[in-house]
Structure 1
């Protein structure tokens, strides 16, 4: 397996720190609002990465934080007349609803800043003791000039950043790029006691402290959106390695590309964002997830309703192929038969094996989900072709080996689909809607079959044609009536 490492700007062979185990830390949301589609991309990307490692048999330890102490949370809490931690708790609960709908499983641990003040304060104190930080009027700043490796993740040079800095920056800083580790409390703000007085942690220190607590120095993968490379992840490295006196903090750094709207980065500050909740009011969660993984995670993804509609139709093709495999198993009689389909079975079996090989090759090459999805479409095409061949043997009992190859295809679809977060039941609401649709279609098919039995061909054909107009295709096959989405 090769992973593109932002730290080295190249693909590298992935070798875990501990054989058979993978340790991942992914930056989570700042909990002052509902998550938007741009927030959802890293959630889906790294959930898929985690799933693939588990598919390969790794024991994965996955940590994703919640930022529940932050300027944005404090400002929003004032607007809503709430306590800041109460507001954060509200949106953490909303996060679980939206992430769960998208098939994003909870991390092994979701640490919160508010629960880790002792660890954060201890880390800051040791950074000061190691002469990488200084205190000024109750604030504590990291001294970037004392850390020789500053800029190694982003590729920025400190002298260039200093030359481009504004002259009116905080004059208490020794260097314009020094960043805050601890903020002295202002009137009306929440605060915690510290050796430097009442205050709260800066944004960057939280992830260094929590990743170190749960994974230790030198863990395998640190992930997040490309916008976090600088300054957040750059500062995380500086803090953690200044604290430990050695490196690396994390061995592989992965960053997903932006979601854009009209080629401009989606963000709350720009006001051009769509919340996941809004999107899920229009589209099935699985369609949204499929849309996200149909593009390589490092590539930008431009939001477009038209593309979502296209992905909806593409996803239905995969569902139809899987449903057809299930229908064949339920409609065909199997026994020890003298009917041999050796060549057809061999071709289909080879296609199943090749689809999984192609899937793994794609995912092993920096988690190329776009190519992995293509392997599922190849399998779908072969499954449909095999099904049509079986239709020619209507009325005959087929050998058990046919059942076995159909079960193998179904199992392959489900296992590979699980890696991508597809073909799962989703939320309870989604299950209920799906069950209702199945029952409704069963009723319509029964009514049509009754009309056909009365030789009322006009009514039977009208039902078929009306369904086709709304995108539902009825197929009269030797094994019975099937329906699928166009």
Structure 2
């Protein structure tokens, strides 16, 4: 599976700062020092609907992570999956009377278009669950051989008790885990499970549903968590720098994935930092496909909204915060974009050397994009009020905003 084209990232004078970011597992800041190649895995979409603002906010956050690392002159090895076979996709295809595979291709194509328009840097490896199945099957077989997986009426489950570190990503108690498992795709009440929290590794073939040859597992399809584990281990190995996604993935997805990987390899932890973006709401509720309260990136683009304004709207809220999408949020972003473009259109202006360092420091401090926007706002206000004589300043501001915030002025 191919990703989307990369926009050029301008080189800035000097060098950026190491990233300090909030780690869910320790509930505190960690300073990441990845070495010459930074490794990041971000969980991708289940392609049964278009990209909404909640998706965009999540991928915006991890685009900033990449840009901070690139500014430190590191390379970035970024991997993202596509869950192109799963219950929600199959259910939507049945509801709409379309082939599930065609629906997945259609919505993945639209996602790529949205990411290209928003100038999100693409992953080096963009892997679908279906194409990962040949690598998933031996992992499930190995877990079974290790005594960490068991058969239940032909389905294969992972035993969470096999991992002594289980629970150390989300740090939730058993009752909270059980409630979230039921809410987020698990089956804690299924009779016969060794532990209600045990997640599915391999779903035996069901009539009318797609299935693949699973070797000694029999025909079926993979569970959600083992999919990402197989892709991450194949392309990044263990103890990569950042495991990312929305805050609703901390449990069960990232918790279970970490346990799968830790049992498979005997190493701990799977990732040095578990980083989670907040939820975007609309009309007082979390924006989600199940609720249908969605604002789509593609719809905004069709209405003529500049993708740069969409990115500024996303940047105006700290990535870890839960916030509400409103018409005013978008209008404020449109107005800001206009002010910034007017400011950099002049032939000269106030020195921007300090601005570069302010934006770098803001983003290195747990991706504080609102502080970075405020710094550019101050420069633009000085430009409007006083002007300046530095002929290189407008260009430097434009390159800084492009390189570090992904916004083309």
TM-score (norm 1): 0.75
Deviations, residues 229-279 of structure 1 (Å, cap 9, x unaligned):
111111111111111122111111111110011331111111211222222
Deviation at 1:40, TM superposition (A): 1.3
What is the alpha-carbon distance in structure 2 between the residues aligned to residue 149 and residue 263 of structure 1?
36
Tell me whether 1:359 sits opposite 2:354 in the alignment.
no
Tell me whether 1:220 sits opposite 2:236 in the alignment.
no
Deviations, residues 437-486 of structure 1 (Å, cap 9, x unaligned):
xxxxxxxxxxxxxxxxxxxxxxxxxxxxxxxxxxxxxxxxxxxxxxxxxx
Tell me whether 1:7 sits opposite 2:25 in the alignment.
yes
Partner of 2:223: 202
Deviation at 1:307, TM superposition (A): 1.9
| 1:280 to 1:191, Cα distance in 2 relative to 1, 3 A | same
| 1:72 to 1:152, Cα distance in 2 relative to 1, 3 A | same
Deviations, residues 271-307 of structure 1 (Å, cap 9, x unaligned):
2112222222332211111000111101112111022
Partner of 2:127: 111
SS across alignment from 2:334: helix
Aligned counterpart in structure 2 of residue 121 of structure 1, from 133, 137, 140:
137
SS across alignment from 2:62: helix
Partner of 1:183: 203
What is the alpha-carbon distance in structure 2 between the residues aligned to residue 290 and residue 162 of structure 1?
38
Aligned counterpart in structure 1 of residue 190 of structure 2, from 154, 170, 173:
170
Deviation at 1:135, TM superposition (A): 1.3
SS across alignment from 2:92: helix
SS across alignment from 1:290: helix
Contact map agreement 2:78 2:123 (CA 8 A) in 1: yes
Residue range with higher mean Cα deviation, 48-57 or 407-416: 407-416
What is the alpha-carbon distance in structure 1 between the residues aligned to residue 221 and residue 276 of structure 2?
28
What is the alpha-carbon distance in structure 2 between the residues aligned to residue 267 and residue 248 of structure 1?
30
| 1:261 to 1:323, Cα distance in 2 relative to 1, 3 A | same
Deviation at 1:418, TM superposition (A): 2.8
Aligned counterpart in structure 1 of residue 299 of structure 2, from 258, 273, 278:
278
| 1:206 to 1:384, Cα distance in 2 relative to 1, 3 A | same
SS across alignment from 1:110: strand
Partner of 1:378: 378
Contact map agreement 1:355 1:378 (CA 8 A) in 2: no
Partner of 1:252: 273
Aligned counterpart in structure 2 of residue 316 of structure 1, from 338, 342, 363:
338
What is the alpha-carbon distance in structure 1 between the residues aligned to residue 235 and residue 115 of structure 2?
22
Contact map agreement 2:356 2:397 (CA 8 A) in 1: yes
Partner of 2:9: none
Deviations, residues 49-73 of structure 1 (Å, cap 9, x unaligned):
2122112211011111111010112
| 1:252 to 1:271, Cα distance in 2 relative to 1, 3 A | same
Deviations, residues 394-438 of structure 1 (Å, cap 9, x unaligned):
xxxxxxxx5xx31244123323333211125xxxxxxxxxxxxxx
Flag structure 1 segments of 5+ consecutive residues without an equivalent.
Answer: 329-344, 390-401, 425-486
Partner of 2:321: 299
What is the alpha-carbon distance in structure 1 between the residues aligned to residue 255 and residue 284 of structure 2?
26
Aligned counterpart in structure 1 of residue 103 of structure 2, from 65, 87, 100:
87
Contact map agreement 1:319 1:423 (CA 8 A) in 2: no
Deviations, residues 170-197 of structure 1 (Å, cap 9, x unaligned):
1121111111000011101110111121
What is the alpha-carbon distance in structure 2 between the residues aligned to residue 32 and residue 164 of structure 1?
22
Contact map agreement 1:204 1:236 (CA 8 A) in 2: yes
What is the alpha-carbon distance in structure 2 between the residues aligned to residue 73 and residue 236 of structure 1?
21
How large is the Cα RMSD of the aligned pairs?
2.1
| 1:174 to 1:36, Cα distance in 2 relative to 1, 3 A | same
State how many pairs are aligned.
Answer: 385
| 1:381 to 1:160, Cα distance in 2 relative to 1, 3 A | closer
Deviation at 1:371, TM superposition (A): 0.5
Write 1 or 2 for the structure with the bigger share of helix: 1
Deviation at 1:43, TM superposition (A): 1.4
SS across alignment from 1:65: strand
Partner of 1:140: 156
Deviation at 1:80, TM superposition (A): 3.8
Structure ranking higher on relative contact order (CA contacts 8 Å, 6+ apart): 2
What is the alpha-carbon distance in structure 2 between the residues aligned to residue 302 and residue 40 of structure 1?
14
How is 1:37-116 mapped onto 2 (pairs within 5 angstroms)? 37-116=53-132
| 1:373 to 1:417, Cα distance in 2 relative to 1, 3 A | farther
What is the alpha-carbon distance in structure 1 between the residues aligned to residue 108 and residue 188 of structure 2?
37
Deviation at 1:214, TM superposition (A): 0.5
What is the alpha-carbon distance in structure 2 between the residues aligned to residue 200 and residue 376 of structure 1?
49
Contact map agreement 1:36 1:274 (CA 8 A) in 2: yes
Deviation at 1:209, TM superposition (A): 0.7
Deviations, residues 147-205 of structure 1 (Å, cap 9, x unaligned):
22111111123377569999981112111111100001110111011112111001111
Tell me whether 1:415 sits opposite 2:400 in the alignment.
yes
